[in-house]
Amino acid sequence: MGRPRKLSSEPEKLPRGFAIEKLFRLRLQRFSLTQEHYDALLQSQHGRCAVCEEPLNKDWVIDHCHLTMKVRGLLHSKCNSLLGFANEDPRRLQQAIDYLKKHNRFL
């Protein structure tokens, strides 16, 4: 027997017969979240990403502190990557914002 196949977090890429429900349960288990805690978190965010505030879609993750493993919120995968690529450093994120403003990226 070979190594177990790593499962994708994208439902459309899951092997046939693998329930999306099971993937959801695995996400909750990884962070010791109960269904009730997840529901409360989702409700407190009004079904939206905690970073961009757009509605959550199938491409969401449970954001957490890598030191404490404490759950911070539900994010789009891209929003979570944004934080990770900035090493979760608010100063670096602010510098990126200042850079974009300086170059009139969004003005």
Tally of domains within the chain: 1
Question: 98: domain range?
Answer: 11-102
Is residue 83 domain-resident? yes
Residue 31: both structure tokens together: 């962070």
Q: What is the CATH number of the domain that holds 22?
A: 3.40.1800.10
Average pLDDT over residues 50-56: 95
Tens of pLDDT, residues 5-49: 444 444 455 454 455 677 677 888 888 888 888 889 999 999 999
Is residue 58 domain-resident? yes
Please spell the DSSP secondary structure of the chain, one letter per residue: --PPPPPPSSGGGSPTT--HHHHHHHHHHHTT--HHHHHHHHHHTTTB-TTT-PBP-SSEEEEE-TTT--EEEEEEHHHHHHHHHTTT-HHHHHHHHHHHHHTTS--
Is residue 5 domain-resident? no
Is residue 84 domain-resident? yes
Query: Looking at per-residue confidence, does 99 or 11 come out higher?
Result: 99
The pLDDT value recorded for residue 30 is: 86
In the chain, pLDDT over 70 holds for what percent of residues?
77
Is residue 87 domain-resident? yes
The pLDDT value recorded for residue 86 is: 95
pLDDT band at 105; cut points 50, 70, 90? low
The pLDDT value recorded for residue 17 is: 47
pTM of the model: 0.71
Is residue 107 domain-resident? no
Of 89, 79, 71, 81, the closest CA to residue 49 belongs to 79
